[in-house]
Amino acid sequence: MTRIGVLGGGQLARMLALAGAPLGAKFLMLDTDAGACGGQVAALMQADYRDLDALGRFAAEVDLVTFDFENVPADSAAWLAERVPVFPSPRALAVAQDRIAEKTLFRQLGIGTPAFAAVDSLSDLHAAVAAIGLPSILKTRRLGYDGKGQFRLRQPQDIEAAWSALAQSHDHASLVLEAFVPFERELSVVAVRGRSGEFRSYPLTRNWHHEGILSLSLAPANVDEPLVARALQHARSVADELGYVGVFALELFELGGELLANEMAPRVHNSGHWTIEGAVSSQFENHLRAVMGLPLGDTASRGCSAMLNWIGDLPDCAAALSVPGLHWHDYGKSARPGRKVGHATVRADSALQLADALQAVGGALGRQAQVETAIQTLRG
């Protein structure tokens, strides 16, 4: 039996533990919140990520460590890595935590990114806006997720407001200004690299966000094969360069046939949740196979899938479960605005059947707006 330590005890840790039981894995999660939802399905230790006594006790209880949460201090990951194998490596984690380091890596690998500039002062911000233009987005360099720590600048008058909203309220954090990309599609590659360098990618996924948070994913994304091949190649070159072990996601914007990399997530990813029912082996199973040094599982899709995120509160599952091919995931979290509390995946054998099923889900739950664009895409 392999004992797996997970830094972070949220829904990703919870789904890892559920996928790991058949592989004989046993889990210990570490989270700052004693009530984190992963603790409902596996052992959970409550501690600060910087508490070295707690990290020492955690390391003594497990055979390897992985992450559900990428904002664990990189120093803590490095400290653990001296005591127990940590996957992905603290270096991969450090690159993915820093928007400038990850974009710099993408560019070194020949992967396009939106224009960007580091911003550490109000005068830097003025210079960056002059260089990059408007509209643009100011983001915290670190610790951002789900659209948090972002401010959209539309006109020069927004500069001071953006500066006070981000720099001052985030304790004078380093920032980055990015060109706003009027993308045609948002896409993500969810892929896995094993300890031996074996690499597999899931079919490309198309994503729609609402207020900076993922709302719906569709897989496989219906895009041209050369574009798919380029996206998968980008993911592979990032993973190989970092010597990455485990599942990760590369988020891309598509504009005029070009791909621009937004960011990478060094962990299982929300846009890969459809793989639980919609692929031969799920991203959670494959992450565990990778970190445990086992052969990777088949990443092929089983038909077409759509994943709907439940943000803030859960709809009535009984109303949705009568839709054929629908699978429900309640994370066991309390309702709170902007919080991911669950998701549903709808799987079907064809795009048209999936469109019909989504129509039924939207109607049953009063969520027509959430499913509308995906239905139009599926019906072509």
Per CB under 6 A, contacts with ligand AMP among 183-202 are: 186
Verify binding: residue 147, ligand AMP, rule CB under 6 A: yes
In angstroms, the CA 254 to CA 192 distance is: 22
Scanning 23-31, 100-108, 178-186, 191-199 for contacts with ligand AMP by CB under 6 A, the matching segment is: 178-186
Q: Which two tokens stand for residue 255?
A: 């504009």
Verify binding: residue 221, ligand AMP, rule CB under 6 A: no
Write the binding mask 34 to 73 for ligand AMP: x where contact by CB under 6 A, - elsewhere.
----------------------------------------
Verify binding: residue 77, ligand AMP, rule CB under 6 A: no
Q: Which of 304, 145, 127, 139 is nearest to 217 (CA)?
A: 304
8 A C-beta contact, residue 152 and residue 137: yes
Size of the site for ligand AMP (CB under 6 A): 13
Verify binding: residue 112, ligand AMP, rule CB under 6 A: no
Per CB under 6 A, contacts with ligand AMP among 262-291 are: 262-263
Which residue has its beta carbon closest to ligand AMP? 181
In angstroms, the CA 20 to CA 23 distance is: 5
| Contact pick of 5, 20, 90, 114 for ligand AMP (by CB under 6 A) | 114
Verify binding: residue 120, ligand AMP, rule CB under 6 A: no
Q: Which two tokens stand for residue 182?
A: 């009027």
| Contact pick of 73, 112, 212, 303 for ligand AMP (by CB under 6 A) | 212
| Contact pick of 107, 209, 210, 379 for ligand AMP (by CB under 6 A) | 209
8 A C-beta contact, residue 260 and residue 341: no
Rounded to a whole number of angstroms, the minimum distance from the CB of residue 131 to ligand AMP is 15
Residue type, 18: L
3-state per-residue secondary structure call for 222-286: CCCHHHHHHHHHHHHHHHHHHCCCEEEEEEEEEECCEEEEEEEECCCCHHHCCHHHHECCCHHHH
8 A C-beta contact, residue 46 and residue 33: yes
Pairing status of strand 304-311 against strand 246-255? unpaired
Residue written as token pair 């004989």: 24
Rounded to a whole number of angstroms, the minimum distance from the CB of residue 67 to ligand AMP is 17
Verify binding: residue 328, ligand AMP, rule CB under 6 A: no
Q: Which is nearer to ligand AMP, 182 or 226 (CB)?
A: 182
Which residues bind to ligand AMP, rule: CB under 6 A?
Answer: 114, 137, 144, 147, 178, 180-181, 186, 209, 212, 251, 262-263
